[in-house]
């Protein structure tokens, strides 16, 4: 992409994303995420009705009477975007690819974060950590992130979600809110990494998909290619059994993700490349409020 065209695209995404974060998501972001970060403030004497789980047993032992920990909302959060940059994200049969959609959503989340005085960082991952942008504040930082999302060229085509989760756990020391933006086309097992990561961080999953991944159209004989392995083959989409098998495969994949997200208590949404992601984000924010 030429430098001038890239700058125009960055500017276009900035205008659109800032408008959404200012006019639509400002209050909803705060209620959905700021309330989840609680920091220890002080201890005070136990009062009737206090949650016994908040009792500070060390202070209670010293004072010979029960004391509870008091928490207050953290005024500043760290937001991490874990962005899948594997080759499968370059697929799209309508106006946008999955990567285009991920870029817009990530930019909107980033502007919502800095509007609430939060730091924003990014991890680009394939089957390895391709690039890490440490959390910072400010418009200049977000424009750099958008620029990288538009013009980044990963070294690997494949996906490994477990490596991204492991990196997040080790690189970000304090609790953060982490958004995973991926199509989740990964056949490996990452349940253990997800469980461990969710105990430390507030993890939100955003699945991006093309509508043809869910429902194969009847368009006759076509050549398909696995973007991550470069394997090519011809399939006859007029075959009803083939389309049914494809639909069943999608449903099984989605059911598997639902089980994982339910087990790890991970909030999640699925967004198609031809859908308005604003409605989906509003739904997510309301779910968490």
- With residue 222 as reference, give the H or E element that holds it: strand 221-225
Give the pLDDT confidence of 8-41 residue by residue, as tens digits. Answer: 888 888 888 888 887 777 677 777 776 555 555 6
What pLDDT is attached to residue 109?
93
- Overall residue count recorded for the chain in this entry: 289
What domains appear along the chain, each with residue ranges and CATH number?
3-32+76-288 (3.40.50.410), 38-73 (no CATH)
Give the lowest-confidence range in 92-96, 117-121, 212-216.
92-96
Give the pLDDT confidence of 253-263 residue by residue, as tens digits. Answer: 999 999 999 99
pLDDT mean across residues, the chain: 88
- Other Cβ atoms closer than 10 A to 234: 8
Two structure tokens written together for 40:
């220890």
What pLDDT is attached to residue 41?
63
Separation between Cα atoms, residue 70 and residue 54, nearest integer Å: 8
Separation between Cα atoms, residue 256 and residue 120, nearest integer Å: 30
Cα dihedral value 130, 142, 151, 279, nearest 10: 100
Residue 273 has pLDDT above 60, yes or no: yes
What pLDDT is attached to residue 10?
86
What pLDDT is attached to residue 158?
93
What pLDDT is attached to residue 18?
83
CA–CA distance from 242 to each of 101, 212, 235 (Å)? Answer: 28, 13, 9
């Amino acid at each position: 992409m030429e430098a001038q065209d890239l700058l125009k695209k960055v500017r276009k995404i900035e205008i659109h994303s800032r408008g959404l974060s200012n006019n639509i998501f400002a209050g909803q972001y705060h209620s959905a995420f700021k309330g989840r970060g609680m920091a220890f403030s002080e201890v005070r004497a136990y009062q009737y009705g206090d949650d016994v789980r908040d009792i500070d047993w060390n202070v209670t032992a010293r004072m010979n009477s029960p004391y509870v920990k008091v928490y207050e909302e953290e005024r500043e959060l760290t937001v991490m975007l874990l962005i899948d940059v594997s080759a499968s994200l370059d697929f799209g049969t309508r106006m946008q690819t999955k990567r285009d959609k991920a870029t817009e959503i990530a930019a909107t989340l980033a502007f919502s974060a800095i509007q609430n005085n939060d730091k924003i960082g990014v991890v680009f991952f394939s089957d390895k950590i391709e690039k890490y942008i440490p959390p910072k504040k400010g418009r200049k930082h977000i424009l750099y992130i958008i620029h990288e999302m538009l013009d980044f060229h990963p070294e690997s085509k494949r996906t490994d979600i477990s490596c991204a989760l492991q990196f997040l756990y080790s690189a970000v020391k304090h609790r953060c809110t982490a958004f995973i933006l991926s199509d989740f086309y990964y056949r490996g097992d990452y349940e253990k990494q997800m469980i461990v990561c969710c105990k430390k961080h507030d993890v939100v999953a955003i699945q991006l998909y093309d509508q043809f991944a869910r429902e194969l159209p009847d368009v006759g004989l076509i050549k398909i290619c696995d973007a991550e392995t470069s394997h090519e083959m011809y399939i006859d989409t007029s075959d009803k059994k083939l389309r049914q098998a494809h639909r069943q495969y999608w449903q099984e994949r989605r059911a598997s993700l639902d089980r994982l997200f339910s087990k790890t208590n991970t909030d999640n949404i699925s967004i198609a490349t031809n859908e308005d992601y604003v409605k989906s984000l509003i739904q997510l924010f309301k779910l968490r409020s």
